[in-house]
Structure 1
């Protein structure tokens, strides 16, 4: 980019250019603007730096965004919100929380935008403790429960499994939009309360709130968990023909799950084959899981067809091979299972370690199968052994 020397761009001009580059994901052009800022000594301007961080965050160049932020001599609440949001966009959730804590330590008072972003991070991590702390700060600071803030709270509590608090916030909100309703419907559906989710969906339409594509994902999940195949098909058609919403892969995957869970494997297979967009591996894996549940891996059966499709799409993804090998083993097809595992060994493919995590007092602890990542793992195993002995001595049957 070349600028006339007699017409020096102002800070607002550079900020506007960074915003335009962020909107268009124009990485190279944005970098040229960055270089020009450095030449003109505008890299110390807070407003310019904020838009620069936003630009790099939008282009998912998070290292560059963090470097710009860390080199700022003066920051504002907008600066902190921008970098925390940038981390959230690329799923760097722990970094988002780290910078939120640093923000508090530096004496910057979080505003509504900060709290909305941090609540979204807590929802993704399932960190209920920090989410509750943010909610407490909202109450203590006397912040008005706006639609955006209330929706973030509903989403956080719902995803963390505290449906009673999610419902309480939802009911106390004076103004609710489609995202608020969708968050509550999703929460109920994901935690097995499918009937309540569908009743809430009906109430949403009765209140003349038009559902969007996200709403229907929650509705289809609810139908899947409740085994409501006919309702799922009806809602899928309603989404397309009544509300004019074009289905995405997530909707198709949810419909495959609706049919597959109910054992309608051939219908699910034909549904995938007639999709308006090309199915991705996730859609095929959804059907493969259903085939496994219903023990359909016979030659020329749906399971066999799905396996071939999946292996054609992802021939070197170990997860697919492990699923198929386990399915063969479940029905005593030991030779087929052994051949797949031998192929994995020869080609150097390794099974991904199983992972679980738990949140305790605001800290998330991550555990990998076969790997003791915690320094105190010895004490943990000693505690488990002690509990096992106590259970045996009490004649308690456990698994």
Structure 2
């Protein structure tokens, strides 16, 4: 027996452990030596490759303990097949074992990776944790529950779990912030962060990374600068993740020159950093700079990913580079082996449609290997509006038909179609589109815009004069209009009212 213990401890390869496993089976020592063999197998490098064997070994043991299940659950939950973790949990419950604080977080991690279809199971494990008293006692069980609910798209349930926590850690706050950011509730993210600071918790680097993401999506440059400054002032490590988040924030807030200076000074850059900068150039109308940076990325031997090509396609769209857009879409699939996502198809439709190639864009959508979502069809419809003419009526009719099948209650589609028909003087069809809206009691969504002044974001909605600054803004606009009318036009012909 001692010799077998020594053999297991010294085994360094899976084939060697298989031999020992066979010897244990033939000698009838599986009950006593199986657990030690399992632990040794899990501890080997590249454990993902050996997990199926470890899984089978655990299930072959006569009465595996909860500790063995807890030992195998973390690597299985993080593996390419997280559903196996759910099977392990069901197996331990059928064996009469009760999960503890080391069991549920890893099962919830697996459910997070299986989201959004895992919501019923998340709710079930939530109930399990409450009945077992773990939800109230163990803080990281609730953290895992928040992450799982958030991944399933149920932010309100995640926040409810957070609100009911009797004790919180910085990780708890960061999980709540990440849940808000991941579900596009960035203003709520900022509000929770303010509450975190008021409560006396000290933000860490993860907190500031999430806040940079929220600032980027809100276009709140002041908030982003503050988060960046806090990290510098506290002398926190400038990690690769934080550096990428800073570049992304400055780019999306329009400070692209500052983003580039930071990008060039970063001690380390990965594909996400390069992609953030390329996308930043594209979104700020600097197409040539985006393509040049992509060339530098290739020289640096960094392999592009799906975000890189999304940035390149956006750059080509805004600059009218149709041939380059086609080339990048081809290379993405056939050179780099990246399967296009719906966003790539939408971007390619925009490349073609924005440049007036409406028929080619329509044929591209029809030939897609997957069914186009409403965003792709709306992108094409927007291109038809931009290049409206009687030649595009047939395409507009077909796109309208598809959109009405997919989104029969979306008023914006009817408005866009009615405007296109009006522009090409097809009054009957325009009236029909508006009649359908009227009879269906669909209202046009009011236009909305935001402007940042003095570090505060001010929102303006069409038709709403309740904003305290509304009348002052109107007065300034009126004065600007009067001053512009006083200026002599540089080209009177261009300003002639043809109607």
* Contact 2:248 2:276 (C-alpha < 8 Å) held by counterparts: yes
* Contact 1:297 1:303 (C-alpha < 8 Å) held by counterparts: no
- Paired residue secondary structure (2:458): strand
The structure-2 alpha-carbon separation of the partners of 1:342 and 1:111, relative to structure 1 and needing over 3 Å to count, comes to same
Instruction: Specify the alignment match of 1:11 in structure 2.
Output: 101
The structure-2 alpha-carbon separation of the partners of 1:275 and 1:388, relative to structure 1 and needing over 3 Å to count, comes to same
Segment of structure 1 superposing worse, 337-346 or 124-133: 337-346
The structure-2 alpha-carbon separation of the partners of 1:62 and 1:313, relative to structure 1 and needing over 3 Å to count, comes to closer
The alignment status of 1:41 with 2:133, answered yes or no, reads yes
Q: What are structure 1's unaligned runs of at least 5 residues?
A: none
The alignment status of 1:332 with 2:390, answered yes or no, reads no
The structure-2 alpha-carbon separation of the partners of 1:52 and 1:195, relative to structure 1 and needing over 3 Å to count, comes to same
Q: Aligned runs of 1:18-167 on 2, under 5 Å?
A: 18-25=108-115, 26-42=118-134, 43-167=136-260
Q: 1 CA distance for matches of 2:279 and 2:480?
A: 41
* Contact 1:328 1:334 (C-alpha < 8 Å) held by counterparts: yes
The structure-2 alpha-carbon separation of the partners of 1:109 and 1:28, relative to structure 1 and needing over 3 Å to count, comes to same
Q: CA deviation at 1:339?
A: 2.5
* Contact 1:178 1:212 (C-alpha < 8 Å) held by counterparts: yes
* Contact 1:297 1:327 (C-alpha < 8 Å) held by counterparts: no
Deviations 1:254-310 (A, max 9, x none): 111111122222221211121111112222222222222222344764334333333
Q: Aligned runs of 1:1-399 on 2, under 5 Å?
A: 3=93, 7-25=97-115, 26-42=118-134, 43-298=136-391, 301-374=394-467, 376-377=468-469, 380-385=470-475, 388-389=478-479, 392=482, 396-397=486-487
* Contact 2:281 2:289 (C-alpha < 8 Å) held by counterparts: yes
Q: CA deviation at 1:312?
A: 3.7
Instruction: Specify the alignment match of 2:63 in structure 1.
Output: none
- Paired residue secondary structure (1:11): coil
Q: What are structure 2's unaligned runs of at least 5 residues?
A: 1-89, 490-494
TM normalised by structure 1 equals: 0.92
TM normalised by structure 2 equals: 0.74
Q: 1 CA distance for matches of 2:313 and 2:301?
A: 20
Structure of higher RCO (CA pairs closer than 8 Å, 6+ residues apart): 1
Q: CA deviation at 1:350?
A: 1.3
Q: CA deviation at 1:100?
A: 0.9
Q: 2 CA distance for matches of 1:77 and 1:390?
A: 49
The structure-2 alpha-carbon separation of the partners of 1:314 and 1:59, relative to structure 1 and needing over 3 Å to count, comes to closer
Segment of structure 1 superposing worse, 315-324 or 141-150: 315-324
Q: CA deviation at 1:342?
A: 2.1
* Contact 2:396 2:417 (C-alpha < 8 Å) held by counterparts: no
Q: CA deviation at 1:151?
A: 0.2
Q: CA deviation at 1:181?
A: 0.7
Q: CA deviation at 1:387?
A: 5.7
Q: 2 CA distance for matches of 1:120 and 1:386?
A: 33
Q: Could you say which structure has the larger radius of gyration? A: 2
Deviations 1:293-335 (A, max 9, x none): 2223447643343333333433332111111111122122233
